[in-house]
Amino acid sequence: MNELILELKSIKRCFGKITALDDFHFNVKPGEWVSIMGPSGSGKTTLLNILACLDTPTSGDYLLDGINVASFNEDQRTVIRREKIGLVFQQFHLIPYLTALENILLAQYYHSVIDEDEAMAVLVRVGLEHRATHLPSQLSGGEQQRVCVARALINQPAIILADEPTGNLDEENEAIVLKFFKDLHQQGKTIILVTHNPEIGQEGDRIIYLHHGKIVEKVYF
């Protein structure tokens, strides 16, 4: 029945006088990889935050897997987010005093129950099993982002939302992280990825370009 996994209907998001998203319509099918591009301040992060249920639209409807979450309160959004969505941030956002493994366990802890073997398995997937007991400060940027990807995967979400995941990485690490996204895409995960890099954008099934809170161009591959 659910043709669409994400559906935004005339979403508007204002910050005071600034309208970050304006009458925004956006649909994503399950398993799709959508790249979002656009100049700085065009509303990419705002869009992603709404999709991630980190933020609520000023008006409009947002159907996530068929459920209208636009009017959900904070705790309800938290619950639906941890069930369905994995997040990867540009600034990694790892807890500095927890080890790589513990940072992954944390996501699992808030989702269900912790299982070290499972957490270790995702670390293996991102090739960081030997850094499990290291603190984020002891890891390189690329390694930190790989931990973040592992953390986003631990609860097996259907949707991965990534805001410039390679923005702080060099080319080598960018390639490594990009490869994970390709693998995830292959496995049928829905991916929404914000990027400034056209090469990365082209990895998706389509690119949407934003400008002043509106979609100005759509490119399908």
Partner 1 sequence: MFLRLIRQGIRNQRNRIAVGVFCVFIGVTVVSSLINLYYDISYKMHEELKSHGANFFVGSKTYSVSPTLDQSVLDLLIKTITREKIVAISPFLYGIARLDLGNAVLVGVDFPEFKKLERHWPIVGQWVSMSFDDRHCVVGRTLANTMHLKVGDSLTVYSQDLNTHAPLTIKGIIETGESADEQVFVNLPLAQRILGLEGKVHHAMLRVEVTGTEAEHLARFLEKTIPFIKADALKRVSYSEGKILESMTGLMTLMVSTIVVLMTLVLMTTLTAMTAFRRKEIALMKALGAKNRSILSYFTVEIILIVLVGTILGIPAGFILAQIFGKTIFLSFVSFRLIVIPFTLAIMSGTAVLAAIIPIRRAYRLDTALVLKEE
Ligand X SMILES: Nc1ncnc2c1ncn2[C@@H]1O[C@H](COP(=O)(O)OP(=O)(O)OP(=O)(O)O)[C@@H](O)[C@H]1O
Select from 3, 17, 96, 137 the one that contacts partner 1 (CB under 8 A): 96
In the numeric block, the tokens 């994503």 are attached to 28
**How many CB atoms within 10 Å of residue 170?**
11
Q: Does 117 bind partner 1 (CB under 8 A)?
A: no
Q: Which two tokens stand for residue 103?
A: 């940072």
In the numeric block, the tokens 């390709």 are attached to 182
Nearer to partner 1, 151 or 185 (CB): 151
63 burial level (CB within 10 Å; 0-12, 13-18, 19+): middle
Q: 192 pairs with which residues across the strands? A: 34, 161
Q: How far is the CB of 18 from ligand X (least distance, A)?
A: 5
Nearer to Mg ion, 104 or 194 (CB): 194
Q: How far is the CB of 71 from ligand X (least distance, A)?
A: 20
Angstrom distance (rounded) from CA 67 to CA 14 = 23
* Range 33-72, binding ligand X (CB under 6 A): 38, 40-46
Q: Does 45 bind Mg ion (CB under 5 A)?
A: yes
Nearer to Mg ion, 100 or 207 (CB): 207
Residues that bind ligand X (CB under 6 A): 15, 18, 20, 38, 40-46
